[in-house]
Amino acid sequence: MRKILKQVAGIDVAQKELVVCLGRIYEDWTIELYAHKTFANTAKGFEALLAWAGRHTSTEISLGFVMEATGVYHQGVAYFLDDQGCQVSIVLPNKISAYFKSLEVKTITDKTASQTIARFGLERKLENWKPPAAIYRKLRQLTRERDQIVQERTVVKNQMHAELSEALPHKKSMARIRQRIALLDKQDKEVQAELKALIKEDKDMQSVVILLCSLPGVGLLTAAIVLAETNGFELIRNKRQLASYAGFDVKEKQSGTSVKGKPRISKRGNKYLRKTMHLPALAAIRHEQRFKAIFARLISKHGIKMKAAVAVQRKLLEMMFTLVSKNTKYDKDYLNNPKTETKLEYNLHFELKN
């Protein structure tokens, strides 16, 4: 009997169902996908999934559950499996999609998707997912709710602007639009008040926010969003990983002498992090000499203001990670030390080159 090296349950998550494929890899590196079943995306379905997987897998080695990050629909089964002590890995959809294209699969169904996820889990060494702490989960819910409120308010304000631009605006329509804007303003204030109260309740969180707010341009809301989207930098090991997670990593395409694509950020990451760093970076450029110098140096190099602003956004985000890691506040006189100045200039040159 061949020895099993690894076994995985690949889960294709939908709103109402979970399509599961069991796979294993043997000591001769052959992969076998041998069992499939569909379960309801409910508490009873989770229990049935765990019982079925237990009957069809070996008890001698651990079973890993791999799934895509499908909106919020994967969270229920992920939390359930983690509570049961199972190994859970959550993979970004773009990684699964790119892996799917590398396989000779012409038919795309829920079944083939679960097979692809199972095969991906068998071939790759994935990190185990850990549920965020309760305070980070609440922070994420509140900050994303506020983001939706702000977007909706922008749409309504644009409607009001269009209505006012007409020759004969409808008075009752204008009144209703103003009422919606007032309601959204009220909800925005309520959410921000809840955020402040939540941070004040936790002394550790409050101290971290104080560290982050010592950076120029970074306020309480920006600090809350960054901590919420990174779980307090819990799973971030270095600045490069953080940049990749936020989508600030650089992608470049070159081949021979004919293909020379322009380097640009990948944007394959957390959009909320990129979005929240925009205004703080502009404020830092305007009011802090260090970031003003970075911005000016980049402008003199390529003349593209937005590209220079994005570099400052990445720099600010990485400095937030550094402050939390070292448990220290931002020191604007740090560059006065000649030893650190040489190191910072080298790091900056490396970042701009990439």
Residue 269: what pLDDT? 82
Look at the alpha carbons of 203, 207, 208, 212 in this order and tell me if their dihedral is positive or negative. Answer: positive
Residue among 132, 158, 122, 22 at smallest CA distance from 75: 132
User: What are the angstrom distances between the C-alpha of 72 and each of 14, 77, 299?
Assistant: 10, 10, 41
Residue 346: what pLDDT? 37
Section 266-270 average pLDDT: 81
The band of 253, judged by pLDDT with boundaries at 50, 70 and 90, is: low
Q: Say which DSSP state 9 is in.
A: E
Residue 118: what pLDDT? 95
Residue 261: what pLDDT? 64
Tell whether the model's pLDDT for residue 255 goes beyond 80: no
From 60-69, 82-91, 285-294, 344-353, the region with the lowest mean pLDDT: 344-353
Name the more confident of 249 and 56: 56
The band of 46, judged by pLDDT with boundaries at 50, 70 and 90, is: very high
Average pLDDT over the chain, rounded to an integer: 88
User: What are the angstrom distances between the C-alpha of 351 and each of 165, 189, 294?
Assistant: 46, 38, 11
**Cα–Cα distance, 25 to 4 (Å, whole number):** 6
Residue 347: what pLDDT? 45
Whether pTM exceeds 0.95: no
User: What are the angstrom distances between the C-alpha of 14 and each of 242, 274, 330?
Assistant: 29, 27, 44
Tell whether the model's pLDDT for residue 116 goes beyond 50: yes
Task: Determine what percent of the chain is predicted with pLDDT higher than 70.
Answer: 91
The band of 260, judged by pLDDT with boundaries at 50, 70 and 90, is: low
DSSP 252-266: --EETTTEEPPPEE-
Neighbours of 352 (CB within 10 A): 15
Tell whether the model's pLDDT for residue 152 goes beyond 70: yes
**Cα–Cα distance, 52 to 119 (Å, whole number):** 19
Tell whether the model's pLDDT for residue 37 goes beyond 90: yes
Tell whether the model's pLDDT for residue 219 goes beyond 60: yes
